[in-house]
Amino acid sequence: MIVVVGIGADGMAGLSPDSKSELQRATVVYGSRRQLALLDDTVTAARREWPTPMLPALQALLEGVDGDVHVVASGDPLLHGVGSSLIRLYGAERVTVLPHVSSVTLACSRLGWAVQEIEVISLVQGDPHTAVRRGGQAVVMSRDGATPAALARLLTDTGRGDSEVSVLEQLGGPAERRRTATARDWAARPPDDVDDLNVVAVRYLPDERQLGVLPDEMFANDGQLTKQPVRAVTLAALAPRPGQLLWDVGAGSGSVAIEWCRSGAGCRAIAFERDEQRRNRITDNVVAFGARVEVQCAAPESFESVPAPDAVFVGGGLTQPGLLEACFDRLPPGGRLVVNAVTVETEALVAQWYSQQGGELRRFEHHRGEPLGGFTGWRPAMPITQWAVTRR
């Protein structure tokens, strides 16, 4: 059995009797250097610091061990912590977790925030831009003392410099400290003494949250953009599910990849785009929305170096020899492929694949009302032929 004990910055004094008892009967305790240092002399077990990388040590945790293995972890081990990793590896029946109060709950208690109304974001392993939001409140779990300044700079650079940032250090311990500033002020004068054990509570301002498919003008683009009405039906055809990976091939501005990431918890995407300027523009859009999108260059040349997708959207480059076949071949059974065609040549290719693989073939046309002299007339957009198929 693996027993995971959550511990706070107040060390042994803050532990429940059950947690203390588990650690005092342990024969070996794993943890980070900081967590192991919180144990007092009543814990006589051998102390083993996690190596880097950590995953191989987790996989070998029970090898050659007679009896239980104990692990200490910060706060609640099931909140972006090692407890979740161990349960994935060994199963819930072989892992017991004794949680402490999480840093997220402590931060909310200091600020008077309702825990159920905030988002929890971990930057322990994640890229800093994935904590950028266009409104709302979040508690961001930091990688180290440099995380608050990096996040403040990103918020400022993406037009969220008025956001209220509270950095809370050593929560629950004798050295607890809280400092609050706007993101703009923190980025301009970042303190050089931020403790590595910190979380960042952010109220994102201005609040520009919007549900549903976004207006076109919210994306930086050069006209190579799947327009809002077509984007809506494309997302419906792709049918994203939580935690799934999308390949956005011929991504243009990255709008479909970003909408995919906004659609559900844990959704992420890889955007493939040959044009360097457009790749840079995709990156800017990704940062502005805090989306989990990796930007790649050529397709299908880059396909072998990235994880296989749950779904693929092809919005450009369809006539490139072998592209559609390469996309279809990388899909797992049950994976979804959606192709939007706007030219006669791409329509012919789509019709050929439809005749071979089945699926659903649709054609969309829409018109916009625009000024016509002193009146209003209808201006048609280019029709879109869409093929959607689930691989058997």
CATH number at 12 reads 3.40.1010.10
The total number of structural domains in the chain stands at 3
pLDDT at residue 81 in the model:
93
- Does position 220 have pLDDT exceeding 90, yes or no? yes
Same domain, 239 and 305: yes
Give tens-digit pLDDT for 2-22: 999 999 999 999 999 999 999
Provide DSSP, 315-333. Answer: -S-TTSTTHHHHHHHHPPT
Range of the structural domain that residue 285 is part of: 216-391
Q: Is 219 exposed, middle or buried (0-12, 13-18, 19+ CB in 10 A)?
A: buried
Choose among 357, 363, 350, 352: nearest CA to 331: 357
Give CA 180 to chain center in angstroms.
25
Tokens of 288: 């502005």
Q: Is 24 a member of any domain?
A: yes
- What is the C-alpha separation between 230 and 221, in angstroms, rounded? 16
pLDDT at 50 over 90: yes
In a domain, 69, yes or no: yes
Give ∠ CA 60-63-65 in degrees, rounded to 5. Answer: 130
Per the CB < 8 A criterion, the answer to whether 165 and 182 are in contact is yes
- In three-state secondary structure terms, 390 is strand
* 252 has pLDDT over 90: yes
Same domain, 245 and 342: yes
- Domain membership flag for residue 211: no
Q: Which of 162, 158, 107, 105 is nearest to 133 (CA)?
A: 158
Kindly indicate the confidence band of residue 379, based on its pLDDT and cuts at 50, 70 and 90: very high
Residue 204 pairs with which residues in a beta bridge? 136
Region 131-148 average pLDDT: 97
Same domain, 44 and 57: yes
Residue 63 is predicted with a pLDDT of 86
Q: For residues 285 and 219, is the Cβ–Cβ distance under 8 A? A: yes
174 and 221 share one domain: no
Q: What CATH number is associated with residue 154? A: 3.30.950.10
DSSP class of residue 128 equals G
Q: Examine the pLDDT at 65 and tell me if it is beyond 80.
A: no
Domain co-membership, 245 together with 356: yes
Q: How confident is the model over 196-211, as a mean pLDDT? A: 96
Residue 25 sits in the same domain as residue 162: no
Instruction: For residue 210, tell me if it sits in a domain.
Output: no
Is a pLDDT exceeding 80 seen at residue 279?
yes
Domain end, chosen from 78, 101, 124, is at 101
Quote the mean pLDDT of the chain: 95
With a pLDDT cut of 90, the percent of the chain lying above it is 91
